[in-house]
Structure 1
Amino acid sequence: HKDERFSSTHPSVKIILIALRFISLSILIILLFKPKLLNEIKQVEKPIIVFLQDASSSILNYPDSTYYTSEFKTLIEENNNILSEKFDIYTYHFSDEINEGVNMDFKGKKTDISDAFEEIGNRFYNRNLAAVVLASDGNYNKGINPFYKTSELNCPIFTMAIGDDTPEPDLQIKAVRHNEIAYFENEFPIQFDILSNFDSDQKHQISVINNGKTIYTESLNIKARTPISKEIFIEANNEGIQYYDIIINAFDGERNTENNRQKVAIEILNNLQNILILSSSPHPDIAALTSALEEGKNYKVTKSLFHEFNEEIEAYNLIILHQIPDFTNRNKNLLDNIIKSETALFFIGGKGSKWSEFNKVQELVEVKTKNVMQEVFPIINKDFGPFQLSENCEKFIESATPLQAPFGDVILKEECSSLFTQKIEGITTNNELLFFAEKEGKNWAILLAEGLWKWKLFDYQKNESHDNFNELFQSISQYLTLNKDKRKLRLQYPKMIDEGATFYMDAQLYNDNYQLIEDAEMSLVLTDPSKKEFLYSFSPLKRKYQTSIKNLNKGSYEFKVNSKFKNEYAEQSGTFVVLESKLEQQQQQANWKTLKQLSSNSSGQFILKENFDDYSEIISSNINSNQKVYFNEYLSDLIKQKAIFLLLLLCLFLEWIIRKRLGTH
C-alpha cells in the first residue's frame, strides 16, 4: 500500500532510495563471496644492540677474576641503561650454549663463540641489528673460529678484552693419538705432542701411569715453540678398559699445570680373533702370513685350500683370500657367500688371480691387465689415517724388496684409504698397491701383489728379526677386525666423557646365524660411584638400539646391559669414567688476537679494560642509530571491517527512514 506522498515526491528522492537499496544489496552480495582486504601496518623499530657475555670458567683463570664476579655486572647494567635511551638492548650469556641475561657464576665447562654468533644471527635475522658487544677472553674450545661467523651478523662487533694475553712459561701435552682397542699381552702405540713456549736447560720427565703404577718414564730437553712428537709403546698387561695418564712434570713456578696431564682410555681385549686364510694353491706367502699373525697371540689362524673348504664362515673375524678368484672357478658358491657376509675381507692378488672375475665380485676397484706381472716397490702414503705404523716399520717397507703386481691400470670406483702406491722402474705412480675401504659396515683390504715371503726374509736379513713384517700384517688384521667381534650382544660407547656431556650407548643384538635382531627388549642398569643403581631402557633406532644419560657427575660408573629375545637372554658388563671438565683451564692466556680480528673485520672496536667504564659512549658514537621503518602487509576478511558494516546499516537505516516518512510500507 502506498499513499499519495510517495507518488508525488520529487524524482531525486526516488533516485536516492534506489541508490541506497543498490548499495546495501551490493554490499551483501559482495560479502557472500568472502572477499579479503589487503592491509598495511607501519612499525618503527629502534636500532638493536646485543650484549654477549662469556660465562665460561676460563674467566676465573686470571688474577683480576674477582672484578668480573663482583663489579663487572654493575658496570654492564649502567652502560646498557645509557644505551637503552637510543637503542633496544638484548643481553645474553654463553659458554657452550646461549641463554638470556648475564651470569657472574662463570661455571661454563666449554666455550663456543661461533655458536653464540650463529644463534644471534638467527634470532635477529632481518631486524635492525646495529651492533654486537662481546665481553670475552677470546678463548674457545668448541665450534669453529668465530671469525667465520661474523658475516652472519652483518654489523659491527665491539670486543671487550677480558683477561691477560701476556704469555707465561708453560709446558703442555697436546694431540694425543691412540687406538681404541688393544690386545692382551701385546704392545700398542700412544702418540702425543709436547709443546713449550720457553727454552729450558733442564730435562723434563715424561711419565705414563696405569692403575697407580708408573709404567714408562723418559727425560727430554725442550726448546721454545719446537713441538716434540713422541711415540711410545706400552704393553697391555691388564684386561678390560684401562686408563693411562700421560704426565710431564711441572717446572718450578709454572702457574698452569692443568695441561701437563692427559688421560686416555683403551679397551684391552683377551678374546681370540679367528682368521681364515684361503688360497687357490700352496704358496710361501701363506706360511709368512700365518707365522706373522700367530705371533700376535690374540689370533687363531685357520688355513685351507679354497676348493677344499666346506665349513661355516660366520665364526671368523677376518677372511684372507690369496689369489682368489682363480682360473678354476671351483667352489663359486663359497666366494659368493664370503662377499655377501659381514666378515672383514682381505684380498691378496697375484699371478694366479683371474682379474676379470675379481673385477666382478667386488665394486671397489677395477684392474685392467692381461695378467702380465711386473716388479713394483711400495710408496707409503704419509697421510694414511686408519692406523699408524712405527718409524722402524715404515723404514723397513721403504727399503723392502719389490713385489709382483699386475701390469696395467688400477681404477678406483669407491672412496678408499691408500697405504701403499706403486713405484715402477723408479717412477712413482698413482696406481694403488694396498688400500682399505668400508662399505655397508664391512671392512675391506686389497693388496694387488704377491711375494710377501720375500719381505719376511728381508726383514730378518736386515734386522735379525721379523718384528717389522709382523707389525705390518698384525696392524692390518687388527684394523680389519677392530669392530667385527663375534659377540651376539655388541655395545658401542665412549670410555671417557667430560662432566656435563651426554653419555650415549648403542647396542646391536645378533642371533646364532649373526643376523641382526631389531625387536628385542633391552635395558641398562647403571651403578654410580656411590653404588646407587639406575635403570634405563633402550629405544630402537634404525639398525641399532640407543640410550642416553644426561647430567652425570664425575666418577667411575659400572653398567650391565641385558637383552631378551623370545626365550634367549644375553648380558654384557662394562665401565666408563666421567672426568671433571678442565678444558677451560688448559689455556690460561687470553686470546686477544681473535678479539681484534673480530672487531677489525666488522668495523667495530677492540676495547681494553681501562675503557670499560665508557663502552656505552664508544659504541653509540661509532654506530648508526637510525630507526628502521617496517611496513607489514596482511590480508583480513572484508566482513570484519567495521566501516563496511556501518555503511550497510546506514544505507538500510536511511532507506527505512525515508520510506517511513513517505508512507511506504
Structure 2
Amino acid sequence: MSSETLIYIILAGIIALLLALFQYKYKAKGASKKNALFAFFRFLSIFGVLLLLINPKFEQVNVYNEKPNLVVAIDNSNSIKYFNQEENVTSVVKRIKEDKTLKDKFNIDVFSFGNTLNASDSLSFTEHQTNIDKAFKELGQVYKRTVSPTIIISDGNQTYGNDYEYAANKYNQPIYPIVVGDTTRYSDLKLKQLNVNKYAFLKNKFPIEAILVYNGDENVSTKFVVTSGKNTVYSRNLSFSENDNSKILNFTLPANSVGVKSYRASLIPIATEKNKVNNSKNFAVEVVDEKTKVAIVSSVLHPDLGMLKKSIETNEQREVVFLKPQETIGQLNDLQLVVLFDPNNSFKSLFDALKLQNKNKFVIAGPKTDFNFLNSVSEYYQHDITSQTEDYQPVLNVNYSSFIVDDLDFESFPPLLANFGEPTFSVPFESILYKKVGSINTEEPLLATFEINERREAVLFGENLWKWRAQSFINTDGFNAFDNFTGKLIQYLASNKRKNRLNLDYQSFYQGSSNIIVSAQFFNKNYEFDANESLNITVTDKVSKTSKTIPFILKNNNYQVDLSTLPASDYAFTVKATSENISKSGNFKILEYNIEQQFLNANVSKLKTIASQSNGSSYFIDNYESLIKELTNDERYKPIQKSSKNIVPLIDWKYLLALIALTLAIEWFMRKYNGLI
C-alpha cells in the first residue's frame, strides 16, 4: 500500500469521526452513553463508505515450493520389439514411475514417441518411424523455463527427421539416455539407401542409385541383385573390406509397359551375418505414357516464376517451360496448360489463340498486370481498375468441391500484393481462397476456378507466391505440403475430365513404413460438399482374397481413412456412399519394408554424445538402477521456492459491504427503539 493511500485513509478516519461527533454531540447538545454508541456506529458506516471510495489495494503473497520435473521419453517404435526389449523397457518405466525417492523429489511426466510425441505411457512398440529430433523439439517447448532432467529410453536409431544431436544441443536440460538393444558389433552388409524416381515414361530407361555399406573386419564377396517377380533384371558382383566398406551403384532399368512395376533390390548375405533384413529393399515405379507440359508465359521477371517451376516439377510427370507470349502460340499443341503471369497488351495474340483452341489456362494477375487489357480479353470476369494496391491474406474455402484441398494453415501465410478492387464473375465459379484484409474476412475470391465450354480456368489476384512456399516450409519443415497443393491445382487445370460427385485422392503405391491415407470428397446433386454422407471403403487383398470394410471419418473438408495397419500386398478397393448408389474403385500396392528393422545395433555413441553435451549421463538398460541413485543424489535438482503475489482491491471484500449495512441497520433500530425516529 502506498503512503499516499495511507494518508487518504487517515483523512477518511478523521472526516468520519468529525461527522459522527457533529451528528451526535454538537447537534445533540450534550453527551450520553447512547449518543456515544450512536456516534460509534455512524463513524464505522461513514468510514466504511469512504474506504470504498478510496479503494485501497492489498497484496497477498503466497510462498510455495515447486519440485523439478523428471521427463521420461520412451521409444515406442517397432525396433524395440525387434531387439526383444519390450518387456525390459516396460519394467524400467514401471520402476521409475513407482520409485518413492523419485516421486518425492520430482514431478514425473511420461511420454512416448515414434513419429510423433504423445503424452502417454501406453506402450505398444508398433510405431513404424522414430523421430527423436521432433521429440526433443516439442519437449523443449513444453519445459522451456523449468528444471526438467530428461530420461530417454531408446536404441538411439532415428528413421525420420533431422539429426537429433542438434535438437538435443538446444534442449537446455540434462539428458540421461538408457540404451536399449544389442551393443555387440557384428559383420553386416546393408543396403543403406535406394534412390529412384516415383515415375518413369514408357519406352525410356529410369535411373537407380544404390548405396551399399559393409561393417566388419574381414574381406567379403557378395552379389547385388535386382529382381522383378522371378526374373533378374540387374546383377553385379561386389567385394568389401574393412577399408573399402561402401559402394555407390548407378544403373538404369527399362520401362517397357504402363503401370506400377515392383522390384526387389538385394545384397546376398554372407555366412556370418546376423541381420539379413537390412540387405533388401522393395521399390516400385509407375510407368506413364505421357508427360504434362506446362508453359509459364511472362514478359516480366519475378521470383514467383522460378518458384512455380520448382513446385510444379516436384512431380516428375510434369515439365515446365518458360516462354514469351509470341513464342507460345506455335507450341500450343504440345502444351496441356498455359500459366499467364501479369498479362499485358503483348499477350493479345496468345489470348486469341487460346480461345480459338479452347485451351485451359491459369491467369496470375498482380500489380504489374494491365487490367484494362485483361478486362477486354476475359469474357467471364472483370476486375475494378485502380492504381491502388492492397495486401490480401488467404482464407480457405472449406466447401470447395472441384478437388480435395488440404488446409495448409493458410491464415499464417504472408499476404499477397494485389490491386485494390473486387473481381466480378459472369459465370458460376468456386473460390479456393478468399481475401482477408487485416482482421476482416471477405467473400471476394483471391484464387478461383470455373469451368465453361469444356474448358477449365483459374485466376489468382495477387503475386509473391514464393513467400507462401517459404512459410509452408517453416510450418512443416518441408515443401511437400505446398507442392502438393500446387500439384492438385495444376492436375485439375491440365485435365478436362467431367466433374464427379465422388472424388478420391490416393497413391498407386506406398512404402510399408509410411502412413497410408485415402481421402475422399462427396458432393450432393448441386455439387456442394456433403458432410452428412457415410462413406465406406472395402479393401480386398488380391493375394489372400480377404476383404475388410472400414468407414471414413470426416476431417476438415474431406473424408479420410487410415489403412496403415494393412500388410504389404496388392489391393483393390471400392469406396461407396451408403445413402446413394455412387461408388468408385481403384488399386494400390503396399511395398514390404520395415525401416525399424534395418538397424543391427543400438546407436550408443550418439546417445553418449547427447548425454555428455547436456551434462547428463548415459546408462545401459542392465544398470539403470544407478541412474535412479544419481538423480536422487544430484544437488542440481532441488525444489525451488516460489511466491505468487495477488493484489486485491478493497472493493472486492464483501465483508466490508456487509459491515456497512450492519452498522447502519443497528443504528437505525436503536434510534427507532429509543423514539428518536
TM-score, length-normalised on structure 1?
Answer: 0.59
Identify the residue that residue 58 of structure 1 maps to in structure 2: 79
Identify the residue that residue 121 of structure 1 maps to in structure 2: 140
Identify the residue that residue 388 of structure 2 maps to in structure 1: none
1:632 aligns with 2:644: yes
In the aligned structure 1, how far is the partner of 2:637 from the partner of 2:671? 62
* Structure 1 residue 112: Cα displacement: 2.3
Aligned to 1:43, which of 64, 81, 91?
A: 64
* Structure 1 residue 586: Cα displacement: 0.9
Aligned to 2:633, which of 618, 621, 631?
A: 621
> Using a 3 Å threshold, how does the CA distance of structure 1 residues 135 and 439 change in structure 2: closer, same or farther?
closer
8 A Cα contact 1:112 1:142, kept in partner:
yes
Task: Describe the SS at the equivalent of 2:281.
Answer: strand
Identify the residue that residue 163 of structure 2 maps to in structure 1: 145
Task: Describe the SS at the equivalent of 2:597.
Answer: helix
In the aligned structure 1, how far is the partner of 2:236 from the partner of 2:291? 34
* Structure 1 residue 584: Cα displacement: 1.7
Aligned to 1:532, which of 547, 550, 556?
A: 547
> Using a 3 Å threshold, how does the CA distance of structure 1 residues 188 and 312 change in structure 2: closer, same or farther?
closer
Aligned to 1:174, which of 178, 192, 197?
A: 192
> Using a 3 Å threshold, how does the CA distance of structure 1 residues 117 and 16 change in structure 2: closer, same or farther?
farther
* Structure 1 residue 20: Cα displacement: 3.5
* Structure 1 residue 66: Cα displacement: 7.3
Identify the residue that residue 114 of structure 2 maps to in structure 1: 95
8 A Cα contact 1:3 1:664, kept in partner:
no
In the aligned structure 2, how far is the partner of 1:83 from the partner of 1:575? 51
8 A Cα contact 1:161 1:608, kept in partner:
yes
> Using a 3 Å threshold, how does the CA distance of structure 1 residues 528 and 644 change in structure 2: closer, same or farther?
farther
Aligned to 2:222, which of 204, 225, 235?
A: 204
Amino acid at match of 2:611: S
Identify the residue that residue 586 of structure 2 maps to in structure 1: 573
Aligned to 1:246, which of 265, 271, 277?
A: 265
The number of aligned residues is 495
Identify the residue that residue 251 of structure 2 maps to in structure 1: 232
Greater displacement, 256-265 / 551-560: 551-560
1:132 aligns with 2:150: yes
Task: Describe the SS at the equivalent of 2:659.
Answer: helix
Aligned to 2:126, which of 100, 103, 107?
A: 107
In the aligned structure 2, how far is the partner of 1:651 from the partner of 1:663? 18
1:183 aligns with 2:230: no
* Structure 1 residue 110: Cα displacement: 2.4
8 A Cα contact 1:171 1:194, kept in partner:
yes
State the Cα deviation string for residues 281-325 of structure 1 (Å, max 9, x = none): xxxxxxxxxxxxxxxxx99xxxxxx999999958844899xxxxx
- Please list, as runs of the form range in 1=range in 2, the aligned pairs for 1:368-379 lying within 5 A after superposition: none
State the Cα deviation string for residues 623-642 of structure 1 (Å, max 9, x = none): 42332233334566856535
State the Cα deviation string for residues 493-530 of structure 1 (Å, max 9, x = none): 33204367241448899xxxxxxx98699978442325
In the aligned structure 1, how far is the partner of 2:76 from the partner of 2:199? 37
* Structure 1 residue 24: Cα displacement: 2.9
In the aligned structure 1, how far is the partner of 2:168 from the partner of 2:326? 65
Task: Describe the SS at the equivalent of 1:596.
Answer: helix
Task: Describe the SS at the equivalent of 2:240.
Answer: coil
State the Cα deviation string for residues 16-64 of structure 1 (Å, max 9, x = none): 645633543565687799999765443321222222233333234447x
Identify the residue that residue 554 of structure 1 maps to in structure 2: 567
* Structure 1 residue 245: Cα displacement: 1.2
8 A Cα contact 1:342 1:441, kept in partner:
no
1:588 aligns with 2:563: no
8 A Cα contact 1:314 1:343, kept in partner:
no
> Using a 3 Å threshold, how does the CA distance of structure 1 residues 101 and 549 change in structure 2: closer, same or farther?
closer
In the aligned structure 1, how far is the partner of 2:487 from the partner of 2:93? 57
In the aligned structure 2, how far is the partner of 1:548 from the partner of 1:130? 38
In the aligned structure 1, how far is the partner of 2:588 from the partner of 2:665? 86
Greater displacement, 6-15 / 52-61: 6-15
* Structure 1 residue 594: Cα displacement: 1.9
Amino acid at match of 1:493: Y
Answer 1 or 2: higher relative contact order, Cα 8 Å, separation at least 6: 1
In the aligned structure 1, how far is the partner of 2:552 from the partner of 2:199? 27
Identify the residue that residue 512 of structure 2 maps to in structure 1: 498
Task: Describe the SS at the equivalent of 1:620.
Answer: helix
Amino acid at match of 1:532: S
TM-score, length-normalised on structure 2?
Answer: 0.58
> Using a 3 Å threshold, how does the CA distance of structure 1 residues 109 and 181 change in structure 2: closer, same or farther?
closer
Identify the residue that residue 371 of structure 1 maps to in structure 2: none
8 A Cα contact 1:318 1:481, kept in partner:
no
Task: Describe the SS at the equivalent of 1:147.
Answer: helix
Amino acid at match of 1:47: P
Amino acid at match of 1:213: N
Which residues of structure 1 form unaligned runs of 5+? 278-297, 300-305, 321-326, 345-412, 416-437, 444-479, 510-516, 564-568
1:222 aligns with 2:237: no
In the aligned structure 2, how far is the partner of 1:53 from the partner of 1:626? 24
In the aligned structure 2, how far is the partner of 1:337 from the partner of 1:40? 81
State the Cα deviation string for residues 124-181 of structure 1 (Å, max 9, x = none): 4444x24212222222223333333346643322222223333321111133222222
* Structure 1 residue 252: Cα displacement: 0.9
- Please list, as runs of the form range in 1=range in 2, the aligned pairs for 1:322-471 lying within 5 A after superposition: 333-334=352-353, 341-342=360-361, 441=486
8 A Cα contact 2:59 2:646, kept in partner:
yes
8 A Cα contact 2:86 2:125, kept in partner:
no
> Using a 3 Å threshold, how does the CA distance of structure 1 residues 196 and 606 change in structure 2: closer, same or farther?
same
> Using a 3 Å threshold, how does the CA distance of structure 1 residues 164 and 522 change in structure 2: closer, same or farther?
closer
Identify the residue that residue 377 of structure 2 maps to in structure 1: none
Amino acid at match of 2:108: I
* Structure 1 residue 334: Cα displacement: 3.0
Aligned to 2:280, which of 261, 271, 284?
A: 261
* Structure 1 residue 598: Cα displacement: 1.8
8 A Cα contact 2:360 2:493, kept in partner:
no
8 A Cα contact 1:157 1:605, kept in partner:
yes
In the aligned structure 2, how far is the partner of 1:440 from the partner of 1:572? 24
State the Cα deviation string for residues 247-289 of structure 1 (Å, max 9, x = none): 11111121111211112221122x4558899xxxxxxxxxxxx
Identity %: 21
8 A Cα contact 1:196 1:227, kept in partner:
yes
Identify the residue that residue 96 of structure 2 maps to in structure 1: 76
Task: Describe the SS at the equivalent of 2:149.
Answer: strand
8 A Cα contact 2:337 2:493, kept in partner:
no
Task: Describe the SS at the equivalent of 1:163.
Answer: coil
Amino acid at match of 2:135: A
In the aligned structure 1, how far is the partner of 2:556 from the partner of 2:625? 54
In the aligned structure 2, how far is the partner of 1:541 from the partner of 1:311? 44
In the aligned structure 2, how far is the partner of 1:246 from the partner of 1:168? 22
Task: Describe the SS at the equivalent of 1:597.
Answer: helix
> Using a 3 Å threshold, how does the CA distance of structure 1 residues 633 and 240 change in structure 2: closer, same or farther?
farther
1:652 aligns with 2:664: yes
Which residues of structure 2 form unaligned runs of 5+? 1-22, 296-316, 319-324, 340-345, 364-463, 467-482
In the aligned structure 1, how far is the partner of 2:60 from the partner of 2:330? 80
State the Cα deviation string for residues 90-124 of structure 1 (Å, max 9, x = none): 33333333445645653333222233333433444
